[in-house]
Amino acid sequence: MRRMFGFLIGVVVGGLVGSTIALLLAPESGEILRSELRERGAVFQAEIRHAADARRIELRERLETLRTPPAA
């Protein structure tokens, strides 16, 4: 659990640093850049939700196998 929390913190910090650098070095106009960042943010959020849902399903399946008594 600690490793996953550390990973998520790293992803968030990396995203913030990357977006800051992108804003500072962007060759495009502000409006185009903002729309692209919004789109990328939405895609990133959807990927995070998908990964969380997949992990939740995996953990529920593992819990069910642990709860089920072994066949004799």
Q: What is the residue extent of each domain of the chain?
A: 30-62
Calpha distance 44→19 (Å, rounded): 13
For 40, the token pair is: 């990328």
CA dihedral 14, 18, 20, 21 (to 10 degrees): 140
Residue 25: CB atoms within 10 Å:
7
Residue type, 50: H
**pTM of the shown model:** 0.52
- The pLDDT value recorded for residue 50 is 94
The residues of the chain scoring below 70 in pLDDT are 28, 72
- The pLDDT value recorded for residue 23 is 75
CA dihedral 29, 34, 35, 37 (to 10 degrees): 120
- The pLDDT value recorded for residue 52 is 93
- The pLDDT value recorded for residue 47 is 94
